[in-house]
Structure 1
Amino acid sequence: MRVLADMAGNLTPTEGDGGDVRSVAVVGAGVTGLVAAYELRRRGVNVTLYEASGHAGGAIRTTHADGFLAEHGPNSFVTSAAVDTLLQQLDLQDDVVEANPEANKRYVVRSSVMTPFPLTPAAMLGTSLLSFKAKLRVLLEPLVRTRTQDTDESVASFVRRRLGHEVLDYAVDPFISGIFAGDPETLSMAHAFPRVAELERQYGSLSKGLMMQRKRFSSGESNPATHEGHLTSSPAARARLISFVDGMQTLTDALEASIAGTLRLGCPVRLVHRQEARWVVDAGQDGASRSRTVDAVVMATPAHVLAAMEMSAPMRKFAAPIERVEYPPVSTLTLGFRREDVAHRLDGFGVLVPATERRNILGALFSSSLFPSRAPDDCVTITCFAGGARQADRAREDTDLLVERVLLDLRQLLGVRGEPVFAKHVYWPRAIPQYTVGYQAVKDAADTTEQQNPGLYLAGNYRNGVSVGDCVASGQQVAERVASYLTRAG
């Protein structure tokens, strides 16, 4: 249900707000910006949504070709009560498809062998993924002293201290690559996985903390379900791993259709500045810039976009740490094979590759096992990821060379024979923001920038979490904050 709302050519040279004191400009039409614009419009606010590229949705895009479905960015996301409400509002319930419950294995490579990741205590004791010494180290975790220093700590340091280096190498590092495409040596435990870090602070032990969470859940107090390292606290809704029958773009298409008439595609914002108690937004291509005066501005762009914009001194003064957020490159390579040419059963979610294994890929999703209609009946789809903080140069390679390198891994790990019958390569020069040690400076800069510039709001995956669900929540939350500001401002 693709509804394009390219209004860039319809702006008048002196487009203003016509006296409407409830007007907001949202900059960036990724999922955060789309949700923010949608929620503001539901509240009766006059919204203009600016997007520099020719399409909305940001990293969420879906390609259909030759019976295969390829996601350019996220392949799925976990629901929450807020997400379920949004899906109902957009009337997308019938388009939702839950992940195949039988495809629940997460494989991790060790010594070139794919081993199911243990999901229960009993499985952990029996797994060949960890040595006996490493398992004993995990069992002794409650005896490890709580860290007393109040300084930021890397994920690697935290895990080595509480669980040992082997758990870091074969249990944590591969999942870090799957979530952030990042390096556990540089990511901040407090900011990348705040709820896990909080377990140590609150209970003195991860094991004790998880046990307490389970007890509270069983008594109806909270829900210990996890996704991307975050513990949720809503007992009302069952968290589901979902996509859509026609792919992830279904969500952003529906949001785009719901705000038809407000979206300006191919219309980069070049300058944002305060004028008395309001804001002036200059946007458009070279030689065709237009100005609009609004009551508030939501910057829902990647952090690095701020560095390329012209901003007034009060804005630039506090935003410098935000502009320096790291975004390593990632390539997504979706490959289709004849089912008979893949020896592995592909009976799981996918496979993750620890850095110590020195492979070409960060991991791969068994897309056609996870969701239906991802490949023709006699074929399978495997979505591979390369690059990230681990091997940035790998992500930048051209398609032919990257396919060649990826096939080396797939042949050895999955028993792939022959050549792919389908290939879709998408290169993201700046993929996922890295919540590195010292990231509090970024969050403080965002807070201070907003405090010093009333009516300016910063939102997106560099601030409140990198998952699709986090971005949906970020859009909802910033819309609520803006609406409150407009009410106070009269």
Structure 2
Amino acid sequence: MTVLVLGGGVSGLSTAYYLTKQIPFSSISLWEASQRTGGWIKSQKNEKGIIFEQAARTLRPRSEAGANTLNLIEELQLSNDICPIYSNSAAAKNRLIFVKGKLHALPSSPISLFKKTSPFSKPLIASFLKEFSVPSKRIKDEPIYDFMKRRFGIEVADYLMSPLICGICAGNAKEISVYFLLGKLFEYEQTYGSITKGLIFNMLAKKTELPKSSLLSKMRQEKWSVYSFHSGLETLPKKIHKVIESKGVEMSLNTKCTKIEFNKKELIIHNQKNTVRKKHLFSTILSEQLAVLVRDEHPKLSTLLEKIQSVNVAIVNLHFRGTLIKDPGFGFLVPPQENLPILGVIYDSCCFEQKGDTVLTVMMGGHWFKKYFSNFTNDQQFYEIALNHVKRILNITESPLSYKVTILEKCIPQYTVGHRKTIEQIEDYVRKAELPLSLCGMSYNGVGVNDVILAAKNL
């Protein structure tokens, strides 16, 4: 069987990796339009050896998807390269939001739920207890903001959910589907009438066994919160690339697909250099990009794929001399109602030691990129905006030793209301048309690194 994997991000690399395990004697090719694999995961060292992460930087080990990634890491013999953040560390416990000109620590333990902490007007436990008696609303889907406001009140929606969505997908909680992050809780409400009742029934139900591995056991024993690698998160895609290449996967960089034709049970796939015939295509590129490639023969499929739009994010890495963060933590997020051009700031050097210096990452734009940056023409403008806000919010007076600005264009798909239905329609079309096409990647069933790796395995 001859197959082609389209896209060399972590999703495409993982798809090729799992294909080599399932169909080891097949001819597998991978095309990547850029000069490197790894996609948005990029760990770059500056001249002083400081790591600048230009997108994703840590992985969560818990959940089925997290356990699957740990198994993959073990298979790749990368266990000794892991650098964990433990649950009792400041970086794990101290997560903040910037509201009304001040930084506020979010509740981080069961005890803190019973205390009134700013900016909340009452202890969070009050909102959770009230949820039990809130009437349910029978609907198919709704914005995650509306769901949280209905079930827990406006403060939880404004100060917990909205900044969280900014941090995860740079999106607007008032547009993102509840299924993006809280699908299970939404289904509890629809099935049992309340989230609380659903959680009780779930606790009594038989639990799904997570795949066992020594690394998973070590994670639980040592109580990891999140983790990365000593040389940055790009360690993972680099190793997958090396392994699949050693297994015979034909890697073609700087190879951009320009058109896809479906000829009965095979495909004719064009790039800027030549044309190939394949039995099956695994597309891991953004749905918007795939839509253009299939538009001529399958305009209806193209229209469905175009519904899943992505946003631009600006990343500004800042490196300062010495230790400047007075209250160590993971970082802070900014709720949209603050009307600031930054989404949040990650305290990289509080998470992982950076030679005694301070390293910060400022996230900007996302859903609001055009609103704030439509007239920007150079990196210096993004740098100045980021630095001004960091200095003001964190009371930093020093200038950075170095910095890097990265504009990630169309980097995070937005799972807006109706996303699940769109995915079902896409899958239904592919199935009925009997297309030799499989879809994977962040456009469909999860934007996180763990999500796309597990999706690749399942595919």
TM-score, normalising length from structure 1?
0.83
Mapped partners of 2:275, 2:347: distance in 1: 47
The CA RMSD measured in Å over matched residues stands at 2.2
Label 1:336 to 1:222 Cα distance change in 2 as closer, same or farther (>3 A): farther
Q: SS of the counterpart of 1:152?
A: coil
Mapped partners of 2:407, 2:16: distance in 1: 28
1:350 partnered with 2:328 = no
Choose which of 377, 381, 386 in structure 1 pairs with 2:364.
386
Which residue in the other structure is 2:150 paired with?
161
Which residue in the other structure is 2:282 paired with?
298
Q: For 1:295-374, list aligned pairs within 5 A.
A: 295-313=279-297, 315-340=298-323, 342=324, 344-372=325-353
Which residue in the other structure is 1:75 paired with?
57
Q: For 1:44-59, list aligned pairs within 5 A.
A: 44=24, 45-59=26-40
Which residue in the other structure is 1:99 paired with?
85
Tell me the alpha carbon deviations over residues 395-415 of structure 1, each in whole angstroms, 9 at most, x when there is no partner. Answer: 564322222222222223211
One-letter amino acid of the counterpart of residue 294, structure 1: K
Label 1:441 to 1:321 Cα distance change in 2 as closer, same or farther (>3 A): farther
One-letter amino acid of the counterpart of residue 331, structure 1: A
1:23 partnered with 2:7 = no
Q: For 1:88-487, list aligned pairs within 5 A.
A: 88-101=74-87, 102=89, 103-104=91-92, 105-126=94-115, 127-132=117-122, 136-148=126-138, 150-211=139-200, 213=202, 215-216=203-204, 221-222=206-207, 234=210, 237=216, 238=220, 241-260=226-245, 262-283=250-271, 285=272, 288=273, 290-313=274-297, 315-340=298-323, 342=324, 344-372=325-353, 375-377=354-356, 379-394=357-372, 397=376, 398-451=378-431, 452-478=433-459
One-letter amino acid of the counterpart of residue 52, structure 2: A
Tell me if structure 2 keeps the 8 A contact 1:155–1:187.
Answer: yes
- The number of aligned residues is 433
One-letter amino acid of the counterpart of residue 164, structure 1: G
Tell me the alpha carbon deviations over residues 79-130 of structure 1, each in whole angstroms, 9 at most, x when there is no partner. Answer: 3231122111211111111124412211112222211111334312322230
What displacement does 1:206 show?
A: 2.5
Tell me if structure 1 keeps the 8 A contact 2:114–2:123.
Answer: no
Comparing 380-389 with 395-404, greater Cα deviation is found at 395-404
What displacement does 1:29 show?
A: 0.8
What displacement does 1:135 show?
A: 6.1
Comparing 422-431 with 353-362, greater Cα deviation is found at 353-362
Which residue in the other structure is 1:13 paired with?
none
Which residue in the other structure is 1:227 paired with?
none
Tell me the alpha carbon deviations over residues 2-57 of structure 1, each in whole angstroms, 9 at most, x when there is no partner. Answer: xxxxxxxxxxxxxxxxxxxx111111111111111111122312100011111111
Q: SS of the counterpart of 1:263?
A: strand
Q: SS of the counterpart of 1:362?
A: strand
What displacement does 1:279 show?
A: 1.8
Q: SS of the counterpart of 1:140?
A: helix
What displacement does 1:312 show?
A: 4.7
One-letter amino acid of the counterpart of residue 119, structure 1: S
What displacement does 1:212 show?
A: 5.1
Mapped partners of 2:158, 2:225: distance in 1: 28
One-letter amino acid of the counterpart of residue 309, structure 1: L
One-letter amino acid of the counterpart of residue 251, structure 1: L
One-letter amino acid of the counterpart of residue 83, structure 2: V
Tell me the alpha carbon deviations over residues 228-271 of structure 1, each in whole angstroms, 9 at most, x when there is no partner. Answer: xxxxx738544751111101111111111112251110111112
One-letter amino acid of the counterpart of residue 266, structure 1: N
List alignment gaps of at least 5 residues for structure 2: none
Mapped partners of 1:212, 1:115: distance in 2: 34
Tell me the alpha carbon deviations over residues 147-186 of structure 1, each in whole angstroms, 9 at most, x when there is no partner. Answer: 12x3321112111111111111111110010011111111
Comparing 68-77 with 398-407, greater Cα deviation is found at 398-407
Comparing 444-453 with 321-330, greater Cα deviation is found at 444-453
Which residue in the other structure is 1:40 paired with?
19
What displacement does 1:294 show?
A: 1.6
One-letter amino acid of the counterpart of residue 207, structure 1: T
Label 1:216 to 1:424 Cα distance change in 2 as closer, same or farther (>3 A): farther
